[in-house]
Amino acid sequence: MSGMNHDPSTYHSHKSVYVKTAAVLTAVTAAEIGLLFVPALKFAFVPLLVIMAVYKFAVVVGTFMHLKSDKNVFRVVFVAPVFMAIAMIYVVGLLAVPHFGALGDGYVRLANDKSHDERMGLGEYSPAAIAARDNKLPHLTKERYAKLFAATQDFAAGEKLWGANCASCHRADGGGQPGLGPNMTDDCYMHGGTVYDLVNTITNGVKGKAMIAFKSSLSEAEIDQVALYVRGMRGKNVAKGKKCEGDKVAAK
């Protein structure tokens, strides 16, 4: 039995192997991070990440499980399932993405959209930039809307549209409904109180809130009329209106 014992004097240090492995893994990880800063490679972003991940896996397994020095048959037996798993993940992903609605659409756009680099700021994913891209901007400038409001004498068209589309959530007098729309007759606004801001909110809605987008149901002219009417409500402070929500703006 003594012949089966290992002689400590025959051991050799693996320090150089560990250092070399650490250096290789660090370099590959740095390359993975570096991909975020190379927009020209966005078309191959996912495949390159997969390749580098598999390479790091092979380095670790080959070094610490000694596959690198083992027989080829053992390497094949161990590595083959890895590629099978990758193929399975890819196929399941293709089948699952269409069933995730906006999430799946966002994933597809992140991977394939030509404006991907415009939504990347120093490598950071920017949901705010995507929301801004998806929104329809008001067709007039802030200055032109301000002049239009100053020159408007008749808000009847906007009042009619308000009654048909907005009163159910904000009350007919604009005082706001609990759990729904805020008071539009005070000096507080959650998304800006200029006519331009109001047009933007009415047009695009507010994601995650009760405020829906009207860009598909109202024309630009109709949205302008509603926004002008709402702007004219400011400062009326109707009875039993909801308390201030958002930022208080200068009174007119």
Residue pLDDT, tens place only, 137-151: 888 898 999 999 999
As annotated, the residues of the chain forming the CATH 1.10.760.10 domain(s) are 142-248
Nearest to 198 by CA among 234, 167, 168, 171: 234
Instruction: Note whether 173 and 228 are within 8 A (CB).
Output: no
Superfamily of the domain at 142-248: Cytochrome c-like domain (1.10.760.10)
pTM recorded for the entire structure: 0.49
> Look-up: residue for tokens 């390497």?
75
Please report the pLDDT score of residue 128 as a whole number: 47
- Average pLDDT, integer, range 176-195: 88
Mean pLDDT of all residues in the chain? 75
Higher pLDDT, 116 or 238: 238
Rounded to an integer, what distance in angstroms lies between the CA atom of residue 177 and that of residue 179? 6
Average pLDDT value for residue range 172-189 = 89
Strands 120-121 and 188-189: unpaired
Q: How confident is the model at residue 22 (pLDDT cuts 50, 70, 90)?
A: confident
Instruction: Give long-range contacts, CB 8 A cutoff, 24+ apart: 28-36.
Output: 28/52, 28/55, 28/56, 28/59, 29/56, 33/123, 36/120, 36/123
Residue 229 has pLDDT above 90, yes or no: yes
